[in-house]
Amino acid sequence: FWWPKFTGKMLDERIGKIHFWTLFVGFQTTFLVQHWLGEQGMPRRYADYLAADGFTTLNTISSVGAFLLGLSTLPFLYNVWRTHHYGKKVEQDDPWG
């Protein structure tokens, strides 16, 4: 909402959607899986778990989600860079209508 008012240029909507969906999937994969682990009785604040506890697979899935969550910032940063260099200029006070 505020980006065009601050910069005078519009962010690329397609890249914004890529950013949103990778962030959404990464967040849900990380924290929903941790919720399920808690429901299964995984203790908190432990640095390591035994493989026999049965938490390893879901912890691995949660870790992959965390990496995806981190990677989701790359499309946003690219969008900011691209907008700065090649962004379409806003020609009215309200760029959406």
At 5, which amino acid appears? K
User: If you ran DSSP here, which 8-state letter would residue 87 be given?
Assistant: P
Cα 15 to Cα 4, 69, 96, distances in angstroms? 16, 16, 17
Whether the predicted model's global pTM rises above the 0.75 cut: yes
Mean per-residue pLDDT for 69-79? 97
Residue corresponding to tokens 């604040």 = 45
Q: What is the pLDDT of residues 22-70, one digit of tens each?
A: 999 999 999 999 999 999 999 888 777 788 888 899 999 999 999 999 9
Asked if residues 41 and 53 have their Cβ atoms less than 8 Å apart, the reply is: no
9 or 93: which leads in pLDDT = 9
Token pair for 96? 């959406």
Burial class (CB in 10 A: 0-12, 13-18, 19+), 76: middle
Instruction: Please name every residue paired with 10 in a beta bridge, in sequence order, or none if there are none.
Output: 88
Q: Is the pLDDT of residue 91 over 90?
A: no
